Each structure stands twice: as C-alpha cells, then as structure tokens.
Amino acid sequence: MPLTRRARRRAGSRKKAAWVVAYGCGVVLPLALAARTPAAPDRGIADELGSALGIIALALLGLQLVVPARLRAVTGVLGADVAVRLHRRLADVTFAAIGAHVAVVALAKPARLLFLLFFGAPWRAQAAVASTVALALLVGSSVWRGRLQIPYALWRAVHIALGAAALLLAAVHTVGVHGYLTHGWAAVWLAVFVSGSVTALVELRILKPRRLALDAYVVQAVVPEAGGATTIRLQAKGHTGRSFRPGQFAWLKLADDPTSLAEHPFSYSSSAVTPARPSFTIKAYDGFSRRVAELEPGTDVVLDGPHGSYWPARDATGHVLIAGGIGITPSISLLRTAADLGDRRPYLLVYANRTEADIVLAEELAGLAVRLDLTVVHVLSAPSEDWTGERGRICKELLERHLPADLRGYEFFVCASPAAVATSVDALAAAGVAPEYIHVEDFEHV
Amino acid sequence: MTTDETRWMATAVEVIAVVAAVLFALLRGF
C-alpha cells in the first residue's frame, strides 16, 4: 500500500531525527573517550568545562567539513540543499562552542588571556589563535561574499582552504595542550577524525570529480532566452544519463578540468523523462555562469548531481508553483515532466517578473498550458501600459484571487529570490496552507 | 527544502553538545 503523504513526511522526519542523533553521537564520542582518562589533579570544574567545550568545538569543526561534502550518507537523507543550510546553521553552533571554550578557559585562569597576544605565546596557543582567525575570515568571507563581490569559485577555494586550515590548526592546538585527546582511545579518535574530515574534503574536491568525469555530457546547443537567460542542452556521452527528479539541481563544471573549483549548481529545467538529454536554463550572475552561457556546442561538461531533497508527491491532487525570474527552472522541469507523463492533475503557476521582456520561456509555458491542465498567472512589477495581467508583486490578495477554493491534497513549490520566497511563503500561510506542504528553493542555496 | 527544518536540527545538536559538556564537567570536576 502506498504511503500517505503525511506518513511519508513522518518517515522523512524520522530519518532526519536519526541523522541528528548520529551527528550528536559524533560530537559526544570524543568526550566519552576522554572520560575514560584518569582525572588529573588540581583541575576544577571550570577547567573541565573548558576542556569539554574545546573537545566539542573540535568535533563540530571536523563535522562541518563533512556535512557539505555531498557524501551519500548526508545527501541521501538530507538532500544537498538541506545539508548546506544545516552547515550554515551549525557554523553558528561551532563558533559559539569555540567562544565558550575560550571564555571558560580564561575564566578558570585569567592569565591565559595573555596567550591571545599571539607573539611570545606558546605554540599551542598560537595554533589556537590562528585557527580562530582562519574561522573568522571564513565566516566573514561567507557572510559578506555578496557585498565584497567575491567570485564564487574564488570564494569556494578560500572557504575550503580556511576550513581545512582551521581544523588542522585546532588539531595542532589539541596536541600541544597534551590533555584528554592525546591519551588512549581519545588519541586514536583524534587521528582518525582529523584524517577522516580531510579525506571527506579530498573526496569532494579531487576523487569524486575524477569519477564523474568518466560519465561526461556534451553541450548540444546553447539557446538564448528572454530576460537575459540561456538554455544549455546536453547529451549524455556514451551512457544513459543519471536519473533525476524535477526540482533537483546539479553542479556543472567543465570536463577538461574536473577538479577545478569553477563549478556552479543549476536546477534541471528539462523533463525528468529524458535524463540522457538534460538541460539547464541559467542566468549569468557571476564569472562561471557567464562562462557556461558562452559555451560552444561540442564542449564536454561534468554534472555532479542530481541533488536536492524535493520529491514531487505522486498522490498530490494538484500543484501550485510560485516562481520569480530565473526561479522558473525547477517549475518548468516539473511541468515538462508532467506533460510527458500525461499528468491530468491541475497545475497553477504564479510567475513574477519585472517586465514582459523578462518572462523566461513564455512561449513554452503557453504551449504547456495546452498540454496540461495548467493555469499560468504572470505578475509584473513594472509592466508596459497595455499589460492587462496582474501587476505588482506576489502577495496574499493576489494568491487569494487565483488559488483554487479547495486546496486539500495540493502541493506547493516556491522558487525565487530569498525576499520573494519569504513574501510568498507568508502569503501562502495567510491563505491557510500548512507549512509541511510548501517546498521552498531560493537562489542562494550555495 | 521544506521551510525551516534545519532550525530544529541545529538546535538539537546544540542541546546535545551543551548537555554533554556540562555532564562531563560535573562528572570530572567533582
């Protein structure tokens, strides 16, 4: 008997809860091993708490390298998009653990604050300060990447280098302190954990790209679209293509240099029925996506994908898709797949753009409206005077004008800029849609 | 992702970490 939608969601939540418990065990394991070491004399509760926080901070730091590494154990359960979001949230937890470690250690013996001066401090303290500085740079370059206009490929190279440096320096600090983690099984954990975390990084950056390069795709056509977008049509080279679900995405990179950091995640825009001929409709925002838009037919590319945790519900009675600008790509993949499968369920697409000229794939949407039970509502924020459709932005009132009266069994998919996603989700919630039926993608999941 | 699921996951990890650190300190410090 097929699972009901609620049962499937509960199963998904259980998997995530199990994943959190496993992660928690990963964090707690070194403490449990350290607890087997005989207690040193003259150590008060503050010293012990400082050590515990330091050990936890090290474990969190190492696991931070593993979570976004697109390993099957992570992406299979969470999806690569959720893994990246969790990585961001856990960065706060990691930083808090490091801050608490420093604060408690200094509280136990205030003279240790002098170690922060770096010069003249013991090497174990220098390693700790350098590790924290690397982390601060890493967080700063991530938070202000947009404002500092750091190109994506450069940012990733810096991010990975600083992350690995922070972990290795923290491990050097740990060895220098010669405390709990350099004795017995805890020492074994330290060696295995640090080398394992770095291995995860090597797997993502070097080994996996080489494997993927064996199953390359060739660019068949590069088609300019409205609104400054470009469609890249690919053909699997000597294989049947990797199956994907509509709404998923892949990292695309050039096959002549598969280990290069120049890569970018793009949503599949083609029908999932033909995985050997995937296509991506992209908008050139930065250096790499501009290069992709200028690719010549015949060029070999590599896809690291599919990724993404979205599962279109087979038992949904209808779908509401909300898209903004180039955020149409996952929706167009959903609609193309539905049309190829002869889906007769109702679809409503609310598509926001600035002007008529910015509407990506307008003709194709009109064609899909004939093949499917699809209603397309275009919303323009700066339309021409003779525009007769919806004006302004997606809001509660607009959605209420177009949403079907009975939304039972409907699934909702939103893909737009973060601000538009927030407005749309609020508007759907105000229209009475429960959050578990709203799937969200925004442009900034990397 | 479905809205907001990483928040409870990160909070759960945080709670596990804090409880473990405090327990460790209490067990070892006294």
Q: Are A272 and A243 in contact (CB under 8 A)?
A: yes
Reference A446, options A233, A245, A249, A254; nearest CA is A249
3-state SS class at A217: strand
At residue A360 the predicted structure's pLDDT band, cuts being 50, 70 and 90, is very high
pLDDT of residue A259: 58
pLDDT of residue A124: 93
Put simply, the answer to whether B20 touches A35 (Cβ < 8 Å) is no
Amino acid found at A252: L
Q: Which residues of B touch A86 (CB under 8 A)?
A: 6, 9-10
Tell me the mean pLDDT in the region A65-92.
Answer: 79
Q: Are A347 and A373 in contact (CB under 8 A)?
A: yes
pLDDT of residue A261: 60
Q: Which residues of A touch B26 (CB under 8 A)?
A: 45
Q: Helices then strands (H, E): number in chain B?
A: 1, 0
Residue in the block written with tokens 């410090």: B29
* Per-residue H/E/C for A98-153: HHHHHHHHHHHCHHHHHHHHCCCCCHHHHHHHHHHHHHHHHHHHHHCHHHHCCCHH
Cis ω on the peptide bond leading into residue A312 (within 30° of 0)? no
Nearest to A90 among B3, B10, B20 (CB): B10
Check whether A2 has a pLDDT greater than 50: no
Is the Cβ of A39 closer than 8 Å to some Cβ of chain B? yes
Tell me the mean pLDDT in the region A357-369.
Answer: 94
Most trustworthy range by pLDDT among A62-76, A227-241, A245-259: A227-241
Both tokens assigned to A333: 């993949």
**Among residues 288-347 of chain A, which lie with CB inside 8 Å of chain B?**
309
Best A10, A29, A53 residue to mutate vs chain B (most B CBs within 10 Å) = A53
Model-level pTM?
0.74
Q: Which residues of B touch A88 (CB under 8 A)?
A: 6
Mean pLDDT of chain A: 87
At residue A188 the predicted structure's pLDDT band, cuts being 50, 70 and 90, is very high
pLDDT of residue A152: 77
Nearest to A85 among B1, B21, B22 (CB): B1
Most trustworthy range by pLDDT among A7-11, A44-48, A117-121, A209-213: A44-48
pLDDT of residue A446: 43
* CA dist list (Å): A407 to A319, A400, A416: 9, 11, 22
Phi, psi (deg, nearest 5) at residue B21 = -65, -45
Number of alpha carbons in the 13 Å side-chain half-sphere of residue A399:
21
Termini Cα distance of chain A: 38
Q: Are A328 and A360 in contact (CB under 8 A)?
A: yes
How long, in residues, is chain A?
446
Both tokens assigned to A198: 């770095």
| DSSP one-letter code for A202 | H
The nearest alpha carbon in chain A to B14 belongs to A93
A267 vs A329: CA distance, rounded Å: 6
Is the Cβ of A6 closer than 8 Å to some Cβ of chain B? no
Nearest to A97 among B17, B22, B24 (CB): B17
Check whether A43 has a pLDDT greater than 90: no
Pairing of strands A300-307, A217-224: antiparallel
Give CA angle at A364 (A360, A365), nearest 5°: 75
- A236 vs chain B: nearest CA distance in angstroms? 28
Check whether A9 has a pLDDT greater than 60: no
Check whether A65 has a pLDDT greater than 60: yes
Give CA angle at A417 (A412, A418), nearest 5°: 85
Termini Cα distance of chain B: 45
Residue A288's CB is within 10 A of a number of other CB atoms, namely 21
Residue in the block written with tokens 């049309």: A339
Share of residues in chain A with pLDDT > 90 (%) = 53
A382 vs A391: CA distance, rounded Å: 8
Tell me the mean pLDDT in the region A243-255.
Answer: 87
Phi, psi (deg, nearest 5) at residue A116 = -70, -15
A349 vs A106: CA distance, rounded Å: 57
A127 vs B7: CA distance, rounded Å: 32
At residue B2 the predicted structure's pLDDT band, cuts being 50, 70 and 90, is very low
pLDDT of residue A329: 93
- Range from A70-84, A204-218, A277-291 carrying the lowest mean pLDDT: A70-84
Best A5, A33, A48 residue to mutate vs chain B (most B CBs within 10 Å) = A48
At residue A445 the predicted structure's pLDDT band, cuts being 50, 70 and 90, is very low
Give CA angle at B28 (B24, B30), nearest 5°: 120
Q: Are A90 and A65 in contact (CB under 8 A)?
A: no
A23 vs B9: CA distance, rounded Å: 10
Check whether A244 has a pLDDT greater than 50: yes
Both tokens assigned to A251: 């990292």
- Range from A155-169, A255-269, A376-390 carrying the lowest mean pLDDT: A255-269
Residue in the block written with tokens 């990890």: B13
